[in-house]
Amino acid sequence: MDAPLHVTSYAYDAAPALGDTIEVAPGVYWLRMPLPFKLDHINLWLLEDNAEDGDGWTIVDTGINRDEVRDAWEVVFAGRISDARPLKRVIVTHFHPDHFGLAGWLTRRFNALLWMPREEWAQARMLSLETNASGRGAFSRFYQAAGFDDGMMTEAKARPGRYAGLVSRAPASFIRITDGQEIVINGRTWRSIVGTGHSPEHACLYSAELDVLISGDQVLPKITPNIGVWPQEPEADPLALFLSSLDKLYGLGPNTLVLPSHKLPFRGLDGRIGELKVHHAERLEDTLNICSKPMNGVDVLSQMFQRELDTHQLFFAAGEALAHLHYLMGQGKIRRHLDDNGVHVFQRT
């Protein structure tokens, strides 16, 4: 969600046009694809892979499963992907549909390997098989407990099964990425740094030789990554996971070029991590004050986000409000009980 934060310095003034690329480091190309949301784009990365087993390419993240994104990829492929320089692998940082959406299409089309963390692949496979009928009960219980009114519950009951429409058929196999794993691309080592909270095992990739970090959604400039509680894991404490995993990225280097999935590449990673921690500390203090009186999840999100939210933003805001409430419960600063209507009520201890 948007927050009044900034980074030390942006490395670029503008993004590449649709179908174009910008070389941001030797053999590392930036491209941008559209999204059908208020956050209307995602940054993707194309890595040259000149190796002993032949020249080729690695893609990091794929874009959402929409015709205009496929068409833009076709423009990128022209003159790059060929029998002599094939697509060797598709790396996906995490399971969210803007990152995983075309993984199946790309790997099948080019007979390429999918690389991603195991929990992320499992989530993608699970959600791609979920239907509205199979998920409706869990969604209804979860959002009723959050305090959704009748109109909001109508929207909630339509949510299960949406993931499958945003992704191509998920690959049935993958190469697992683990924390600390070293992946050699173009003769350079990229070390996986797995973050948590935004997703179960979000893979960031760091090249010490290039001093480049592909941060995905784990660290973004200007906007804060969504940290939410979701129906599939209703008792989760993702904010605690997120804040602790940020420390794994701290200290990479003052001049590290950070390649985020949204907005512009930037430098000043340590400062940005500090800003994110301050932002959430302020949010937690606000949440604690809101809960001086008994409040349900919708009450809290309404005070945390005092602006009009579209349907897509509403569910992210609900998840984020609950993430802050759950964190404070874990700290013993807020207690929760279930009222006679099946709604969780939160109050400061």
Pick from 7-11, 110-114, 236-240, 291-295: least confident: 7-11
What is the pLDDT, as a whole number, of residue 50?
80
Distances (CA, A) of 54 to 57, 59, 108, 145: 10, 16, 20, 55
Task: Flag whether pLDDT at 188 surpasses 60.
Answer: yes
pLDDT of residue 253: 83
Mean pLDDT of the chain: 94
Give the pLDDT score at 317: 96
DSSP character string of 271-331:
HHHHHHHHHHHHHHHHHHHHTTS-B-HHHHHHHH--S---HHHHHHHHHHHHHHHHHHHHT
Query: Quick one: pLDDT at residue 7?
Result: 55
Closest CA to 268 of 3, 6, 4: 6
Report, as an integer, the average pLDDT of 68-90.
92
pLDDT band at 5 (very low <50, low <70, confident <90, very high): very low
pLDDT at 330: 98
Q: What predicted TM-score, i.e. pTM, was given to this entire model?
A: 0.95
The string of pLDDT tens digits covering residues 11-62 is 999 999 999 999 999 999 999 999 999 999 999 999 998 876 668 999 999 9
Q: Tell me which amino acid residue 315 is.
A: F
Backbone angles phi, psi at 58, to 5 degrees: -120, 135
For 84-97, how does the pLDDT look when each residue is reduced to its tens digit (9 = 90+)? 899 999 999 999 99
The answer to whether residue 1 scores a pLDDT higher than 60 is: no
pLDDT greater than 60 at residue 224: yes
Q: Which residue has the tokens 């030797």?
A: 26
Lowest-pLDDT range, 69-83, 139-153, 171-185?
69-83
Band of residue 110 on the pLDDT scale cut at 50, 70, 90:
very high
Mean pLDDT of 282-309: 95
Q: In what order do the strands lie in the sheet with 113-116?
A: 22-25, 28-34, 41-51, 54-60, 87-91, 113-116, 175-176
